[in-house]
Amino acid sequence: MLNKIIITGGGTGGHIFPAIAIANLLKTHYPNLEILFVTANGMEVSILQKFNYPYQNIWISGFYRQLNFKNILRNLTLPLKLVISRYQAQNILNNFKPQIVIGVGGYAAYPTLLQAISMKIPTVIQEQNAYPGMTNRMLAPKVDLVLLGNSLAADKLECKRKIYSGNPVRRTIFNGNKTQFFEKYYLEDKPTLLLLGGSLGAKTLNSAMLNHHSTLLNEGFQIIWQCGNIYYDKLKNQIKKNKGLVLLPFIEDMADAYAAADLIISRAGAMSVSEIMNLRKPSILVPSPNVADNHQTFNARSLADYSAAITLPDHLLNEKLLQQIQFLFQQNGLAQLQKQLNLLKLPNTDNIILNEIVNLVV
């Protein structure tokens, strides 16, 4: 019986959203389960507050790879932060007394998982990406189990035990209503593109769509364009009000947007790729060049290697995007992608994650 667990990690939405999906899954089966999140004081705090999950922060930050004077000074504080955060984690574990600690990646997971291992508390890592992050690469040999969100990560982690579980996705994404979305934003039943740049938006994707949206609208396409909060005001002033174009800083009704889309143009974050894979949606994936270890390229490969998605390098996006969209719609390309997506065998993610966590506690 699960009574108390800790979920730790964070740094980006790509870590915290699968953590919440795991928490929601466990609460569905164990309504009285107490869940405590241990994280850093970053963007994940506001997300946890939105979902009403309790959390405690520890004093930790990541290693800054872009070395300038300011970042060098920040990196010099890391040894002190590791010592203090490990002590904070020890106090949290002693007070909360979890049966298991689940790490989802990100620098916030490192001290908490390391302390749990030293205290003989069962530990699990859930790795979302095809190329594992630094924290998970360092801790994988020490934890009891690694749950792989992407099968390509299997040969990149040394660990006691690893299982391909797939990434836990929001169950609500399967309940989208295309008609509802069209009516809300005054769209018609015609070929629809959905552009996603991640929670913060993506400069390159926004620039390419800015250059090509008029041509696409004239050719009969509709565009749902999630541009990110920091780009929204500027883009809103640059784009005339066009019927068939919906510009949003952030998409709240994501399930409906997915249902409305015939083709998705997206960064290749682990959770975006997992949702596209689970929904069997044709996509053009544009891996970000600004992420650690180029992991989005590996994520995109998990579909592209099976001809189940198109990938475009970031530096060629503006040049190739329009041509690629036209090709997919004119040459039966969407149907080919759909066929390959339907051939992909996906694991029963929820059951695997639930059973493996419960078995470690029993």
Query: Residue 355 above 60 pLDDT?
Result: yes
pLDDT digits (tens, 9 = 90+) for 108-165: 899 999 999 999 999 999 999 999 988 899 999 999 999 999 999 999 999 999 999 9
pLDDT of 312:
97
Region 157-176: mean pLDDT is 93
pLDDT digits (tens, 9 = 90+) for 65-90: 666 766 666 656 666 778 888 999 99
Query: Residue 213 above 70 pLDDT?
Result: yes
Q: Are residues 27 and 146 in the same domain?
A: yes
Q: Are residues 74 and 189 in the same domain?
A: no
What Cα–Cα distance (Å) separates residue 3 from each residue in 21, 36, 93?
18, 11, 14
Q: Are residues 35 and 144 in the same domain?
A: yes
Q: Are residues 116 and 177 in the same domain?
A: no
Q: Are residues 92 and 68 in the same domain?
A: yes
Query: Residue 184 above 90 pLDDT?
Result: yes
pTM for the model: 0.89
The CATH number for 132's domain is: 3.40.50.2000
Choice between 198 and 196, residue whose per-residue pLDDT is larger: 196
Query: Residue 189 above 60 pLDDT?
Result: yes
Q: Are residues 219 and 248 in the same domain?
A: yes
User: 62 pLDDT band (50/70/90 cuts)?
Assistant: low
Under a CB-based contact definition with an 8 Å cutoff, are residues 111 and 88 in contact?
Answer: yes
Q: Are residues 112 and 258 in the same domain?
A: no
The whole-chain average pLDDT of the chain stands at 91
Q: Residue-wise over 280-296: b if at least 16 C-beta within 10 A, else e? A: ebbbbbbbbeebeeebb
What Cα–Cα distance (Å) separates residue 296 from each residue in 121, 123, 301?
32, 26, 9
User: 59 pLDDT band (50/70/90 cuts)?
Assistant: confident
What is the number of structural domains in the chain?
Answer: 2
Q: Are residues 246 and 357 in the same domain?
A: no
Cα–Cα dist 325/177, whole Å = 24
Cα–Cα dist 28/2, whole Å = 12
- Name the residue range of residue 188's domain: 172-343
pLDDT of 171:
85
Residue 182 neighbours by CB under 8 Å, 6+ apart: 188, 189, 260
Q: Are residues 351 and 339 in the same domain?
A: no
Q: Are residues 285 and 185 in the same domain?
A: yes
Q: Are residues 21 and 155 in the same domain?
A: yes
pLDDT of 117:
97
